[in-house]
Amino acid sequence: MHGSFLITIKKMKDIPVVDVNIAEQELKAVEEVVKSRYLIEGKNAREFEKKFGQFTGSKYVSTVTNGTCALHLALTAMDIGPGDEVITTPFTFIASSNSILFNGAIPKFVDVDPETFNLDPNKIEQAITEKTKAIMPVHIFGNPCNMQEIMEIAEKHDLKVIEDCAQAHDARINGVHVGNFGDIGSFSFYGTKNLVGGEGGAIVCNSEEVYDKIQSLKNHGRDPKGGYNHYRIGFNYRITDMSAAIMNVQMDRAEKILARRHRNGNLYRKILGEQKFLRLQKQLPGHQMSDYIFAPVINDPSITPQDLIKYLKINHISSRTIYSVLSYEQPAYQNINNFYMARVVNFPDYSKTHCPNAEHIARNHFELPMVSSMTDSQIDYITETLLKYFTER
């Protein structure tokens, strides 16, 4: 019995951590664009914007090249500039705080809530100074931040709010899609996200004035209605219609793709929710995660993620830690004076920044497969194998 189990394990293919849900329709859509010879942002981008607006319930949607420039555009549209401080989380992909630095603004890192892994609203007010201009909450792994409390603080101190929703397609609070709480919501359609475009991004907002500014900024500051007059210094952050075509088809298939993600997340939460060895990311009441990444924290100080990942690998389950180095710990931040903006801006010494909750999560989390094609029995196999590690050591 034992022998045959080992043989089965040996023959098994590794279950990947992520997959990309692409079908024949995406292929056809790209082929059509190429055949049309209209490769630049065009009809597919317009169709996608309409569909994404319906999906998120946002009045205005603007496609952009990727999620990083969506954040950069959003901050620029909010007039965030050199020396301004923007409060954000260090437990995220580096693009979140990098986009703040692009304009010479200063990322002010605030610790996360140990349960939600998101910016802790109770720690925001003490970080506000006369230079603070905005808050950038990041819905990490697709778990919606406590937007009610964040918006109350923002309103009290007259701060702009830019939501980083890169990982949060279909993350909602009481049915309202994230991205609609702050001034601007920024999305990524990077090739491994819930909904993909290869590269790709989108900005959502509910103000016509902000939308017009974004439409102009993303196209070299031109009048969005056309012509070669440039009214502000802008960028080329347009999308190609090949990427937009993929995103457009993904919107048609979104219900199915996202249902698989939610099923995976719900199953994991049901099976692993009560285990004392693990701390799962907590959803606040009325909050729906996007189920982009499922990454619990190990609750046993004698176990490292590295050991657990090795064990899972032997058992053909791919796993990894994703943000084991926090943004302020990255070499680029530890040497921030090498950044050209340091010639005009006094950046803080990030070696003195410490966010203990974020540091704990960074060192102790690991990712489980979130593959849309996973079967129930594969999820059973993953969870049983994982629990064995804690109970049979």
Ligand X SMILES: Cc1ncc(COP(=O)(O)O)c(C=O)c1O
Amino acid at 275: Q
Contacts for 329 with CB less than 8 Å, ≥ 6 apart: 90, 350, 362
Q: Could you say which DSSP state residue 300 is in?
A: -
With beta carbons less than 8 A apart as the criterion, state whether 140 and 91 touch.
yes
Give the separation between CA 371 and CA 378, rounded to whole angstroms: 10
**Binder to ligand X among 15, 48, 63, 67 (CB under 6 A)?**
67
Part in contact with ligand X (CB under 6 A); list of ranges 64-72, 113-121, 173-181, 361-369: 64-72
Which amino acid is located at 34 in the chain? V
User: What DSSP state is assigned to residue 118?
Assistant: S
Give yes or no for residue 190 binding ligand X (CB under 6 A).
Answer: yes
Q: Give CA–CA dist 108/8, Å, rounded.
A: 51
Q: Cα angle vertex 363, ends 359, 364, to 5°?
A: 115
* Part of the chain binding ligand X (CB under 6 A), chosen from 49-57, 160-168, 271-279, 294-302: 160-168
Per CB under 6 A, does 215 bind ligand X? no
> Coil, strand, or helix at residue 279?
strand
Which member of 44, 76, 88, 96 binds ligand X (CB under 6 A)?
Answer: 96
Which amino acid, 175?
Answer: G
- Residue 292: CB minimum distance to ligand X, A: 8
Q: What residue ranges in the chain does DSSP mark as E strands?
A: 60-64, 85-88, 106-109, 132-136, 160-164, 172-173, 176-177, 184-188, 201-205, 278-279, 287-288, 297-298
Q: How far is the CB of 187 from ligand X (least distance, A)?
A: 8
66 part of the interface to ligand X, by CB under 6 A: yes
Contact status: 88 vs ligand X (CB under 6 A): no
Q: For residue 49, state whether it binds ligand X (rule: CB under 6 A).
A: no
Out of 188, 248, 264, 281, name the contact with ligand X by CB under 6 A. Answer: 188
201 binds ligand X (CB under 6 A): yes
Residue 13 beta carbon to ligand X: minimum distance, rounded to whole angstroms: 27
Stretch binding ligand X (CB under 6 A), from 40-48, 66-74, 79-87, 215-223: 66-74
> Whose CB is nearest to ligand X?
67
Q: Which is nearer to ligand X, 211 or 323 (CB)?
A: 323
What sign does the dihedral 286-288-294-295 (CA atoms) show? Answer: negative
Q: Which stretch binds ligand X (CB under 6 A): 92-100, 221-229, 324-332, 348-356?
A: 92-100
Considering the complex, state which of residue 146 and residue 167 has its C-beta at the smaller distance from ligand X. 167
Taking CB under 6 A as the rule, does residue 250 contact ligand X?
no
Chain positions contacting ligand X, by CB under 6 A? 66-68, 92-93, 95-96, 138, 164, 166-167, 188, 190, 201
